[in-house]
Structure 1
Amino acid sequence: MSVRWTPLGVLLGLASTALALALAAAAVSRPRLLAAPDRAPPLRRLRSGHAGDYVALLLVGTTLLGALALPGILGS
């Protein structure tokens, strides 16, 4: 099996690169344009930098993702 480049694949790759460069340039030149909204500080207070906090947030996120995927798994 050989891998071949398609024109659509190359175009999507170039478009992704251009979008990433544009977002990076906007973040560097106008940081307030991409600043976090006013609802971000309560979320930032959840992070203290302790490893246990990150483990707890990972567990909560994994549980939420599993709960959202469960109906699709049980339905098939």
Structure 2
Amino acid sequence: MELNEQKDAPLVIYLTRYSDTLISLSDRTKLAKRLKADMFISLHCNHSDNRKARGIEVYVTVGTSKYSDDSTRFAFQLQMT
């Protein structure tokens, strides 16, 4: 499902899941390929019983796209905010 509501938005954003169900990184990558995504960033907010554990993980594609460096920079910026 496309997340953007504006037709002329600079980024078209898609969600890979809508509920708390497991979707493998491999399946997420397959979706990005089907969508012919220029950039692919996978954000993970994992659960832990340890109340002191917190943070996110950000995955990007392997350097096969002309936008791979942009994906990596964008993912890094997400981690810093």
- Structure 2 length-normalised TM: 0.22
More strand per residue: 2
The structure number with the bigger radius of gyration is: 1
- Structure 1 length-normalised TM: 0.23
Greater RCO (CA < 8 Å, at least 6 residues apart): 2
More helix per residue: 1
